[in-house]
């Protein structure tokens, strides 16, 4: 067996090669990156574990990472060839995600089936895209490359689904560790959501030992559970039925042995069945360069081939450039119009399918009271919106919520959390709700209350409401969303 199966969590590194296992505790900075000393010790331990000599083939390492910071999207693109698919996908990823493709590690899977649009529009194809910050796996890529491994990265929460026998159309998998938990939801075998929760088995045991009934903060939204909930990890029986709510539930038997976990066993089962995981790509080149001796022999062969070719076909090569240039001009002229039509169709498709995110952003900016700081803002095509903000007091929270509802852009807004800041000078609030797309031909309503602290409007020609200047003038400071 030439495949190494790995799971990397926030606190541990587990690897399984055949029947041999390795477990290693990880040390991280506050930013989440591995410390230099941890990287050095892990690389040394992994080399000893593999016992790889310089003559042996490079092993393939299938690595499952945690769900923290992972984003999942469904993207619809025009039907095209396999060569054009990735080029179009990069453009769409840059539009859908807050970071550029070069700053992320991302992978995709083409979902089965396609839909033909009406009125002569081109057929479409749907893709599932999974992305995470590139820096999350940069350190791991270097470690594997130094150990002579070819890494393939995927999401551990998705790998555990391979252990779910007789799963219904809609189900979810909850993995509970001592300090945190991960949930993956599936619809018809396709991942639909991935969540990471800041509580684990230690917090569950503490709540049970306190003889309290305060488990509301440990609950899971019913829309994420589906028809059945599978458990991996140490979860008390009385809590399994509480987490599942009214849905069916089943506990997957725990695994024992060094280097074994539910994610690793799921990876190995998928590999035995010939199923390829969604591979996360990075700009880091983990391949080792060939040895200097091999390059010298290759260069000598190329030089000999060029010399043999030139001696026989020198005359042909002299007259060939002119003919090739003329043929290229004819091909370029012939292929120009089809390319223009195809690119125009793609741009029109993007224009007609772009979600009107500017309308809810403008409503939020108009409704925000003075001194409000938006720490995180998340919106999707389904209309879900989540806001985390810092305000002066509870009165501003009520005022902000009322203005959002009165704007007509949001269907409902619920205040989920209100916590004071450490200095107790302000309040951190988290809201969620739904936003509605504006009616065709009718501009969306905005919140009418005006903040007295805003400067008077400038004289002269009004700014274009869709311009960047108008947006920055209307919006309060907005923090960058944390994945």
- pLDDT, residue 376, reads 92
- pLDDT, residue 15, reads 92
| pLDDT tens string 204-232 | 888 887 766 667 777 788 888 889 999 89
Average pLDDT over residues 410-435: 89
Q: Distance between CA 309 and CA 401 in Å, rounded?
A: 77
Q: What is the mean pLDDT of the chain?
A: 79
Average pLDDT over residues 401-426: 88
Question: Among the listed ranges 25-39, 43-57, 354-368, 432-446, which one has the minimum average pLDDT value?
Answer: 432-446
Asked if pLDDT for residue 454 goes beyond 60, the answer is: no
Q: Indicate the pairing of strand 228-232 with strand 248-251.
A: parallel
Helix axes 201-209, 237-244, angle to 10 degrees: 110
Average pLDDT over residues 334-344: 71
Asked if pLDDT for residue 77 goes beyond 60, the answer is: yes
Tell how far CA 296 is from the center of its chain: 42
Asked if pLDDT for residue 283 goes beyond 70, the answer is: no
- pLDDT, residue 429, reads 94
Average pLDDT over residues 179-203: 89
- pLDDT, residue 466, reads 41
| pLDDT tens string 126-141 | 888 999 888 888 889 8
Tell how far CA 16 is from the center of its chain: 26
276 pLDDT band (50/70/90 cuts)?
A: confident
- pLDDT, residue 442, reads 47
Handedness of CA 67, 70, 75, 81 (dihedral sign): negative
- pLDDT, residue 121, reads 60
470 pLDDT band (50/70/90 cuts)?
A: very low
Average pLDDT over residues 329-339: 74
Give the residue from 291, 305, 301, 159 showing the smallest Cα distance to 232: 159
- pLDDT, residue 315, reads 66
Report percent pLDDT > 70 for the chain. Answer: 79
Asked if pLDDT for residue 477 goes beyond 50, the answer is: no
Average pLDDT over residues 362-370: 89
DSSP character at residue 101: G
What is the H or E stretch that residue 128 is in?
A: strand 123-133
Asked if pLDDT for residue 287 goes beyond 50, the answer is: no
Q: What is the largest CA-CA distance in the chain?
A: 93
Q: Domain-by-domain residue ranges, the chain?
A: 292-341, 358-454+465-474
13 pLDDT band (50/70/90 cuts)?
A: very high
- Judge whether 240 and 221 are in contact, CB under 8 Å: no
First to last CA, the chain: 36
| pLDDT tens string 158-186 | 999 998 888 899 999 999 988 889 999 99
The superfamily in CATH containing domain 358-454+465-474 is General secretion pathway protein M, EpsM (3.30.1360.100)
Question: Among the listed ranges 122-131, 224-233, 453-462, which one has the minimum average pLDDT value?
Answer: 453-462
pTM of the model: 0.55
Q: Which of 75-79, 213-217, 330-334, 454-458 has the highest mean pLDDT?
A: 75-79
* 142 conformational bin, left if phi > 0, alpha if psi -120 to 50, beta if neither: alpha
Give the residue from 165, 239, 252 showing the smallest Cα distance to 201: 239
Q: Distance between CA 390 and CA 426 in Å, rounded?
A: 7
| pLDDT tens string 249-271 | 888 888 888 888 999 999 999 88
- Judge whether 220 and 240 are in contact, CB under 8 Å: no
Q: Which of 30-39, 87-96, 301-310 has the highest mean pLDDT?
A: 30-39
461 pLDDT band (50/70/90 cuts)?
A: very low
């Amino acid at each position: 067996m030439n495949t190494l199966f790995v799971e990397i969590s926030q606190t541990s590194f587990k690897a399984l090669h055949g029947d041999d296992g390795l477990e290693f505790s990880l040390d991280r900075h506050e930013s989440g990156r591995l410390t230099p000393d941890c990287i050095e010790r892990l690389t040394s331990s992994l080399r000893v574990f593999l016992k790889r000599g310089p003559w042996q083939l490079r092993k393939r390492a299938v690595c499952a990472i945690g769900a923290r910071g992972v984003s999942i999207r469904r993207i619809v693109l025009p039907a095209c060839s396999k060569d054009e698919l990735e080029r179009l996908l990069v453009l769409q990823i840059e539009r859908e995600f807050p970071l550029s493709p070069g700053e992320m590690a991302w992978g995709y899977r083409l979902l089965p089936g396609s839909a033909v649009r009406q009125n002569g529009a081109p057929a479409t194809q749907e893709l599932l895209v999974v992305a995470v910050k590139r820096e999350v796996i940069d350190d791991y890529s270097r470690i594997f490359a130094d150990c002579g491994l070819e890494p393939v990265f995927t999401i551990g929460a998705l790998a555990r689904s391979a252990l779910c026998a007789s799963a219904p159309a809609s189900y979810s998998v909850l993995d509970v560790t001592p300090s945190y938990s991960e949930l993956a939801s599936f619809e018809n075998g396709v991942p639909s959501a991935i969540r990471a929760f800041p509580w684990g088995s230690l917090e569950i045991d503490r709540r049970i030992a306190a003889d309290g009934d305060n488990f509301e903060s440990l609950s899971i939204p019913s829309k994420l559970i589906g028809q059945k909930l599978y458990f991996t990890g140490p979860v008390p029986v009385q809590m399994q039925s509480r987490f599942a709510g009214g849905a069916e539930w089943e506990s997957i038997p725990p695994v024992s042995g060094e280097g074994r976990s539910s994610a690793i066993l799921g990876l190995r089962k998928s590999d035995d069945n010939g199923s390829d995981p969604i591979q996360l790509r990075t700009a880091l080149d983990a391949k080792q360069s060939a040895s200097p001796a091999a390059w010298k022999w290759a260069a000598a062969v190329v030089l000999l081939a060029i010399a043999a070719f030139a001696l026989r076909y020198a005359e042909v090569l002299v007259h060939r450039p002119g003919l090739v240039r003329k043929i290229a001009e004819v091909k370029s002229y012939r292929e120009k119009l089809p390319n223009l039509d195809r690119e125009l169709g793609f741009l029109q498709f993007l224009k007609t399918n772009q979600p009107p995110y500017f309308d809810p952003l403008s409503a939020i900016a108009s409704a925000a009271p003075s001194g409000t700081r938006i720490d995180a803002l998340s919106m999707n095509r389904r209309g879900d919106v989540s806001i985390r903000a810092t305000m002066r007091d509870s009165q501003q929270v009520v005022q902000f919520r009322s203005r959002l509802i009165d704007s007509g852009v949001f269907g409902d807004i619920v205040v989920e959390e209100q916590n004071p800041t450490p200095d107790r000078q302000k309040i951190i609030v988290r809201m969620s709700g739904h936003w509605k797309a504006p009616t065709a031909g009718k501009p969306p309503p905005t919140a009418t209350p005006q903040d007295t602290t805003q400067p008077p409007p400038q004289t002269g020609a009004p700014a274009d409401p869709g311009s960047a200047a108008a947006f920055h003038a209307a919006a309060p400071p907005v923090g960058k969303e944390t994945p």
